[in-house]
Amino acid sequence: MENMELSMETVSNLVRLMQKAGLTQLKLKCDAFELDLEKKIEAAAPAAAAVSISHPDGAAAAAVATTTSAAAALDGNIVKAPIVGTFYASSAPGKPAFVKPGQQVSKGDVLFIIESMKLMNEIKSEYDGVIDQILVENGQSVEYGQPIMTVV
């Protein structure tokens, strides 16, 4: 793998895969460089993945993938995007939305889908309650940790 180059897109994809798989650390070593991804676990805030790339000649580059923080003004339980992807309110175009504001939900009910890397991921409720607000539009790109809806 001589002269292998690593783009930020590739690093971003590795971070997403790492988050989706629940990994806390990923190391990749090649002749020309070393990549070490480590997820910092913090109890009060969403985790951020630190990325460092070092070359054998001593040159180093660093980047940090940050997450969006929830707006403090939101009331109720905030349902956040567990992965980066595209938000879909229903299972298919033309189908009714899984939930709408004012609807009663129980733990385990499907709230929405996030498409990530051509996979449809059903996101289920962790709360019993009523949908208060839906904060994103159908088809909108969402980031890891971004508030999607509130349940009161």
Q: Do 151 and 105 touch, CB atoms closer than 8 A?
A: yes
Query: What's the pLDDT at 79?
Result: 95
Integer Cα distance of 122 and 124 in angstroms: 6
Domains defined along the chain, listed by start: 8-65 (no CATH), 77-151 (2.40.50.100)
Query: What's the pLDDT at 82?
Result: 95
Query: What's the pLDDT at 28?
Result: 77
Cβ neighbours, 10 Å, residue 88: 21
pTM, two decimals, is 0.53
**Residue 34 vs residue 84, higher pLDDT:** 84
pLDDT surpasses 50 at 85: yes
Q: Which region among 56-60, 78-82, 126-130, 140-144 has the lowest average model confidence (pLDDT)?
A: 56-60
Q: Do 39 and 25 touch, CB atoms closer than 8 A?
A: yes
CA-based torsion, 6, 7, 8, 12: positive or negative: negative
pLDDT surpasses 90 at 38: no
pLDDT surpasses 70 at 26: yes
